[in-house]
Structure 1
């Protein structure tokens, strides 16, 4: 199976570092070998290093240096968010966000349920 996730204009990716961790964005411009310009619904247009993104299997058809409204429209028409949320990585990010939003009591309940699941059964 050949490699097909290239750094290219229109490639959808997720950010793997910083405030926008896990948010989807699209590569709008390739600056050089190590940096790209990205933009997305929750990510402002910015230049970031390639090592700070995870490339997905999805692409959208946009031109080089496309304006923000065209990028967002292309992502919505391709239903990128729904497709990404159906992937294994997307599901793990949703679970991770839910775990971060838990209250103390919810964490306690989860811990007690895990402890109860591992107890030996009485005959």
Structure 2
């Protein structure tokens, strides 16, 4: 039977960078150091403030980032060196995934007046766009 292409792009694997969805380090990233079973993995984030711990998959989000050539059950020192060598934290901060989360957090922290200012700015921008489109159609 021929192998078929999978629809899945991200897999639970040693070296996969994950985003924590719950707990005291919610929103931080870590690396899967070892797979325990079908429900949990050992994660470690020596550069992001996440201590080495067993964590359930249901509280993790798999990211597209991955450490290459990370051995199974690698210690915190090896993970830290690999993270710094491959500049994973910088890649994460530049990713659309992280930037979207940051913009959502910023929107949630706005005051009522700041939300009003954003609304007025959006209306002004839309008005300029409509005028430019009308002018382009006439020309």
TM-score with structure 2 length normalisation? 0.72
Aligned residues: 117
Secondary structure of the 1:45 match is: strand
Shift of 1:107: 2.0
Query: Does 2:50 match 1:46?
Result: no
Aligned to 1:90: 98
Which whole-Å CA distance do the structure 2 matches of 1:81 and 1:118 have between them? 32
Query: Structure 2, unaligned stretches of length 5 or more?
Result: 128-139
Bigger Rg over Cα: 2
TM-score with structure 1 length normalisation? 0.80
Aligned to 1:59: 66
Which whole-Å CA distance do the structure 2 matches of 1:9 and 1:57 have between them? 13
Aligned to 1:110: 114
Query: Does 2:76 match 1:76?
Result: no
Shift of 1:119: 6.8
Q: What CA deviation, in whole Å up to 9, does each residue of 1:21-49 have, x standing for no partner?
A: 12110000100000000001210001011
Which whole-Å CA distance do the structure 2 matches of 1:63 and 1:95 have between them? 35
Q: 14, 22, 31: which is aligned to 1:26?
A: 31
Shift of 1:74: 0.5
Larger helix fraction of residues: 2
Which whole-Å CA distance do the structure 2 matches of 1:97 and 1:116 have between them? 20
**Two-structure CA RMSD over aligned residues (Å):** 2.3
Which whole-Å CA distance do the structure 1 matches of 2:27 and 2:36 have between them? 22
Which whole-Å CA distance do the structure 1 matches of 2:76 and 2:33 have between them? 9
